[in-house]
């Protein structure tokens, strides 16, 4: 399978099954598209007609181009076959291994964001915070279920995790104490709205947290539309100085300023640029997850606007990079040289199998987005993983069990999408959130275009 598109002045050809990326001229672009359908002589005759008058297009040149295409096909870098389906039928390399936990240390929040998928942090339940004893049990559970895996991940999540800060610190200290005896390496992350950030939080996080995610929606009026304190005050002016201090102190360690866009700011590129102009250079902006009945839900009419926004963002990022003032957008990071292996590309994020969410009371769910939906309870820290049938259903979700993914050019970049999004859109964890697919495909096209531009810039002349 091949996917061809034109973007940013580049003609791009993706060979889906090998992962190859080709940057081609107009003639090769047309010839590659015609190759599977027509014999060589017809293709050459047609292109001689189409490019009549172009001095660089003659029969000898076209035959050379055709030969180059055949060489790429012979090398399995173009129109290569999909030989990976049998891998999907195999159990993972270490079935039953858990490698990452999303620790819901606080089912409570000091903001009242109307669009919050977690219902202002309560996940349809009562306000609750995690005890140190539960956190310790979660670390023990992760170590015991991690097999030979060395790198383990724990994300402190909520609600607002800084409302349970002393427990967070104790859990980190406990895990660090177990690292050496177990031969494990814990990578901690923290997602926060920023209200409770102070110098002590900054110092601790910059020492212990592999990554921090700082929530800000962009421009003041956009951020303060939803992200308000419980008394109704906008949070922008409270959190911005804290985020600036945090990021400055963080040095070269990883962070993301992470926003949510909705139907009310479909011009979200302006919000990303606002963040960049504030001096932040690691940015993420996500489409809102909510029922379609909400007034801020993204609509079908929004889609062309959003796709254009992603293209505009890519164009501006390229321009700024060439000016020496580039920034990173999470979804445009694409590691085509050292990206994930095909095993991971088939199976995706690992929710419900190697990635689990833990509630404040120690219940286990497939991921943070299923918490609060009792039918997705997998067990608890005390009783272990008891709903093995549900876990097996999550384990069998892959790009070959979704008919739409089997025929999709983006399958090895997206890995089948988000089970929670699919469930909310279709009622099935192995369904397809088609709206999200269209956004993701555009983001991948933009991300690959930026890599092609980087390659072309490095190889000019």
Q: What share of the chain is helix, strand, coil (3-state, %, to 5)?
A: 45, 15, 40
| Nearest by Cα to 398 from 429, 441, 376, 368 | 429
68 contacts other proteins (rule: CB under 8 A): yes
Question: Of 37, 41, 56, 301, which lies in the binding site for other proteins, with binding defined by CB under 8 A?
Answer: 56
Please choose, out of 199-207, 220-228, 313-321, 410-418, the segment that lies near other proteins by the rule CB under 8 A: 410-418
The least distance separating other proteins from the CB of residue 314, rounded to whole angstroms, comes to 14
The least distance separating other proteins from the CB of residue 226, rounded to whole angstroms, comes to 22
**One character per residue 322-341, x = contact with other proteins (rule: CB under 8 A):** --------xx-xxxx-xxxx
The least distance separating other proteins from the CB of residue 305, rounded to whole angstroms, comes to 24
Q: State how far the Cα of 165 lies from the Cα of 269, in Å rounded to an integer.
A: 33
Tracing tokens 């080709």 back to the chain, one arrives at: 22
Q: State how far the Cα of 201 lies from the Cα of 206, in Å rounded to an integer.
A: 8
In the complex with other proteins, the residue whose CB is nearer, 300 or 341, is 341
92 contacts other proteins (rule: CB under 8 A): yes
Question: Of 2, 43, 44, 69, which lies in the binding site for other proteins, with binding defined by CB under 8 A?
Answer: 69
Is residue 106 a contact partner of residue 168, using CB atoms and an 8 Å limit? no
Q: State how far the Cα of 231 lies from the Cα of 111, in Å rounded to an integer.
A: 9
Question: Of 7, 22, 215, 421, which lies in the binding site for other proteins, with binding defined by CB under 8 A?
Answer: 22
Helix (H, G, I), strand (E, B) or coil at 344: helix
Residue 367 phi, psi dihedral angles, 5° rounding: -165, 175
Binders of other proteins among residues 118 to 177 (CB under 8 A) are 149-151, 153
The two tokens of residue 57 are 């297009």
213 contacts other proteins (rule: CB under 8 A): no
Query: How many chain residues touch other proteins (CB under 8 A)?
Result: 68
Q: How far is CA 415 from CA 258, 286, 428, in A?
A: 22, 18, 17
Please choose, out of 222-230, 240-248, 351-359, 387-395, the segment that lies near other proteins by the rule CB under 8 A: 351-359
For 24-47, b/e burial (b = at least 16 CB within 10 A) is beebbbbbbebbeeeebeebbeeb
Please choose, out of 56-64, 105-113, 265-273, 376-384, the segment that lies near other proteins by the rule CB under 8 A: 56-64
3 contacts other proteins (rule: CB under 8 A): no
Question: Of 3, 8, 20, 137, which lies in the binding site for other proteins, with binding defined by CB under 8 A?
Answer: 20
Is residue 235 a contact partner of residue 224, using CB atoms and an 8 Å limit? yes
The least distance separating other proteins from the CB of residue 452, rounded to whole angstroms, comes to 6
Residue 265: exposed, middle, or buried by beta-carbon count in 10 A (0-12, 13-18, 19+)? buried
**One character per residue 275-314, x = contact with other proteins (rule: CB under 8 A):** ----------------------------------------
The least distance separating other proteins from the CB of residue 397, rounded to whole angstroms, comes to 13
Question: Of 2, 7, 65, 450, which lies in the binding site for other proteins, with binding defined by CB under 8 A?
Answer: 65
The least distance separating other proteins from the CB of residue 227, rounded to whole angstroms, comes to 22
For 212-237, b/e burial (b = at least 16 CB within 10 A) is bbbbbbbbeebbbbbbbeeeeebbbe
Residue 19: exposed, middle, or buried by beta-carbon count in 10 A (0-12, 13-18, 19+)? middle
73 contacts other proteins (rule: CB under 8 A): no
Name the residues that contact other proteins, by CB under 8 A. 13, 17-25, 27-28, 56, 61, 64-65, 68-69, 72, 76-77, 83-84, 87, 92-94, 97, 99-100, 102, 149-151, 153, 187, 330-331, 333-336, 338-345, 348-351, 354-355, 367, 412-415, 444, 447, 451-452, 455-456, 459
């Amino acid at each position: 399978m091949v996917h061809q598109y034109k973007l940013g002045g580049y003609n791009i050809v993706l060979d889906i099954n090998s992962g190859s990326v080709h940057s081609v001229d107009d003639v090769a672009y047309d010839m590659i598209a015609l190759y599977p359908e027509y014999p060589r002589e017809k293709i050459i005759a047609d292109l001689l007609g189409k490019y009549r008058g172009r001095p660089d297009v003659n029969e000898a040149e076209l035959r050379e181009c055709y030969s180059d295409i055949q060489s790429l096909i012979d090398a399995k870098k173009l129109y290569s076959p999909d030989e990976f389906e049998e891998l999907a039928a195999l159990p993972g390399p270490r079935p039953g291994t858990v490698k990452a936990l999303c620790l819901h240390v606080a089912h409570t929040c000091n903001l009242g964001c109307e669009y919050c998928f977690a219902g202002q942090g309560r996940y349809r339940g009562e306000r609750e915070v995690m005890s140190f004893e539960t956190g310790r049990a979660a670390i023990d559970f992760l170590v015991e279920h991690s097999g030979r895996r060395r790198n383990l991940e724990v994300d402190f999540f909520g609600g607002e995790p800084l409302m349970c800060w002393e427990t967070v610190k104790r859990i980190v200290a406990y895990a660090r104490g177990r690292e050496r005896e177990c031969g494990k390496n814990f990578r901690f992350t923290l997602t926060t709205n920023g209200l409770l950030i102070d110098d002590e939080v900054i110092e601790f996080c910059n020492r212990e947290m592999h990554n921090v995610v700082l929530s800000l929606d962009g421009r003041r009026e956009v951020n303060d539309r939803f992200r308000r304190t419980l008394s109704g005050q906008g949070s922008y002016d409270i959190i911005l100085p804290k985020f600036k201090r945090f990021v400055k102190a963080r040095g070269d360690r990883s962070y993301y300023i992470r926003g949510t866009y909705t139907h009310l700011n479909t011009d979200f590129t302006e919000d990303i640029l606002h963040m960049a102009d504030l001096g932040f250079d690691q940015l993420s902006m996500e489409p809102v997850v909510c029922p379609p009945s909400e007034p801020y839900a993204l609509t079908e009419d929004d889609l062309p606007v959003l796709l254009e926004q992603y293209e505009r963002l890519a164009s501006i990022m390229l321009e700024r990079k060439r000016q020496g003032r580039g920034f990173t957008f999470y979804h445009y990071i694409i590691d085509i040289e050292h990206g994930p292996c095909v095993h991971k590309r088939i199976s995706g994020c690992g929710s419900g199998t190697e990635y689990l969410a833990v509630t404040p009371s120690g219940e286990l769910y497939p991921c943070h987005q299923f918490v609060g939906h009792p039918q997705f309870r997998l067990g608890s820290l005390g009783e272990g993983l008891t709903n093995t049938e549900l876990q097996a259903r999550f384990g069998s979700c892959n790009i070959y069990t979704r008919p739409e993914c089997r025929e999709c050019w983006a399958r090895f970049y997206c890995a089948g999408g988000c089970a929670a999004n699919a469930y909310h859109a279709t009622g099935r964890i192995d369904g397809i959130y088609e709206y999200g697919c269209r956004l993701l495909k555009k983001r991948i096209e933009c991300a690959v275009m930026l890599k092609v531009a980087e390659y072309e810039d490095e190889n000019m002349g």
